[in-house]
């Protein structure tokens, strides 16, 4: 019979040694901006010093884009245009626009591993509201969307590469009041495409323009075009020859309220100049009904005049009867 081989390293009988082998080393906590406690490099202390000296921020922003049920076809096309312009967004199914939509949207954002949300809410198949929210802690903004023009109906000549990163430009009005500064920061975080995103191209060839006119935010999208031959390279001195060609879409945002939480919470700002579209439609109906009201008033005035100024009896009435 074959003999058993001798074990070179006898197994230790201590139970504490076995427990040490089973226990894995603790991992540092991970956040959106990196590791909270950085990994220690025992063999290379110089690398550890470099990590501490040069902290970095990695943008991991992801946006959930969805809409409410019974949305108009024009507003749905606008949402699809926004999705095509933002490569770091994710689409989801329609959500019922009720009072409890905030909890539903926050849960959807968490399930899809996103950090922000764009919610297109349509009321009465006429009015479009846009929610911009940082989930799940806020803040969030509610806008009324006006002057909507999609890419399909404009038929503009501009055409930029899909997935390229935009340059965000803002008018100087955004630095005047604190609520405009907050809106600017929210727009930068939502519309700013991360540099190392897998669906984003590593260069810029179009511009997002946000400008404030009459207390409204106007959005435009322009392509950066440089006239040159295919064989010749563009000189740095020739940047003055660049022109902007509009791509679309176009829309105007009228801020209604800014909330401290996500889709609700304490009101940080309320627009005093905002008038709801229902009030505007009611005033228009009153103007149209004003013609009938004028006729009724004129008839009442004639009756009052006849009662106060009665005619004297006619002397020749009996003669004419005979």
Instruction: Give the pair of three-digit tokens for residue 150.
Output: 């999609």
Sequential DSSP letters for 17-42: HHHHHHSPPPPPPEETTEESSPPP-S
Q: Specify the 3-state DSSP secondary structure of 257.
A: strand
Higher pLDDT, 311 or 36: 311
Instruction: Report the pLDDT value the prediction gives residue 307, as an integer from 0 to 100.
Output: 86
Instruction: Report the pLDDT value the prediction gives residue 59, as an integer from 0 to 100.
Output: 80
Instruction: Report the pLDDT value the prediction gives residue 140, as an integer from 0 to 100.
Output: 95
Higher pLDDT, 311 or 169: 169
Q: What is the mean pLDDT of residues 253-258?
A: 96
| Per-residue model confidence as pLDDT tens digits over 199-238 | 888 888 999 999 999 999 999 999 998 876 655 666 665 6
CATH number of 63-225+238-279: 3.40.50.10480
Higher pLDDT, 63 or 293: 63
Secondary structure of 151-207 in the HEC alphabet?
HHHHCCCCCCCCCEEEEEEECHHHHCCHHHHHHHHHHHHHHCCCCCCCCCEEEEEEE
Rg (CA), the chain: 34
312: confidence class by pLDDT, cuts 50, 70, 90: confident
Q: What is the mean pLDDT of residues 244-273?
A: 94
Instruction: Report the pLDDT value the prediction gives residue 202, as an integer from 0 to 100.
Output: 84
Burial of 51 (0-12, 13-18, 19+ CB in 10 A): middle
pLDDT(63) > 50: yes
Instruction: Report the pLDDT value the prediction gives residue 7, as an integer from 0 to 100.
Output: 59
- Mean pLDDT estimate for the chain: 83
Instruction: Report the pLDDT value the prediction gives residue 31, as an integer from 0 to 100.
Output: 53
pLDDT(167) > 90: yes
Rounded to whole angstroms, the Cα distance separating 311 from 302 reads: 14
Instruction: Report the pLDDT value the prediction gives residue 234, as an integer from 0 to 100.
Output: 63
| Per-residue model confidence as pLDDT tens digits over 267-295 | 999 999 999 999 999 988 888 777 778 88
Sequence spans of domains, the chain:
63-225+238-279
Instruction: Report the pLDDT value the prediction gives residue 142, as an integer from 0 to 100.
Output: 96
Instruction: Give the pair of three-digit tokens for residue 240.
Output: 């003055």
| Per-residue model confidence as pLDDT tens digits over 11-58 | 555 555 555 555 656 666 655 545 555 444 444 455 455 444 446 667
Chain centre to alpha carbon of residue 142: 9
pLDDT(100) > 80: yes
Higher pLDDT, 289 or 161: 161
Q: What is the mean pLDDT of residues 257-263?
A: 94
pLDDT(114) > 50: yes
| Per-residue model confidence as pLDDT tens digits over 78-94 | 999 999 999 999 999 89
Q: What is the mean pLDDT of residues 129-135?
A: 95
Q: What is the mean pLDDT of residues 164-184?
A: 94
Q: What is the mean pLDDT of residues 290-303?
A: 84
Instruction: Report the pLDDT value the prediction gives residue 37, as an integer from 0 to 100.
Output: 53
Instruction: Report the pLDDT value the prediction gives residue 15, as an integer from 0 to 100.
Output: 57
Contact 261, 139 (CB under 8 A): yes
Instruction: Report the pLDDT value the prediction gives residue 43, as an integer from 0 to 100.
Output: 47
């Amino acid at each position: 019979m074959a003999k058993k081989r001798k074990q070179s390293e006898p197994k230790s009988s201590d139970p504490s040694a076995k427990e040490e082998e089973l226990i894995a080393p603790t991992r540092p906590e991970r956040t959106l901006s990196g590791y909270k406690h950085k990994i220690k490099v025992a063999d290379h202390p110089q690398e550890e010093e470099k990590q501490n000296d040069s902290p970095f921020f990695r943008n991991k922003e992801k946006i959930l884009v969805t809409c409410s049920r019974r949305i108009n076809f024009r507003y749905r096309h606008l949402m699809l245009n926004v999705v095509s312009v933002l490569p770091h967004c994710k689409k989801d199914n329609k959500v019922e626009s009720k009072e409890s939509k905030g909890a539903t949207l926050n849960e959807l954002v968490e399930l899809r591993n996103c950090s922000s949300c764009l919610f297109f809410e349509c009321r009465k198949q006429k009015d479009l509201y846009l929610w911009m929210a940082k989930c799940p802690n806020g803040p969030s903004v509610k806008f009324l969307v006006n002057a909507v023009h999609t890419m399909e109906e404009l038929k503009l000549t501009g055409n930029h590469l899909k997935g390229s990163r935009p340059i965000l430009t803002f008018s100087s009005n955004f630095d005047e009041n604190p609520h405009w500064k907050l809106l600017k920061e929210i727009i930068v975080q939502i519309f700013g495409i991360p540099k190392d995103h897998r669906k984003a191209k590593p260069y810029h060839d179009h511009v997002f323009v946000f400008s404030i006119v009459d207390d409204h935010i106007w959005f435009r999208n322009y392509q950066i075009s440089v006239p040159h031959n295919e064989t010749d390279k563009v000189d740095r001195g020739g940047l003055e020859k660049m022109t902007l060609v509009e791509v679309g879409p176009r829309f105007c945002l009228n801020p209604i309220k800014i909330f401290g939480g996500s889709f609700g919470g304490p009101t940080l700002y309320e627009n005093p100049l905002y008038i709801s579209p229902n009030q505007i439609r009611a005033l228009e109906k009153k103007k149209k009904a004003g013609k009938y009201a004028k006729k009724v008033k004129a008839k009442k005035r004639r009756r009052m005049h006849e009662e106060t100024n009665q005619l004297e009896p006619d002397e020749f009435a009996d003669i004419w009867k005979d």
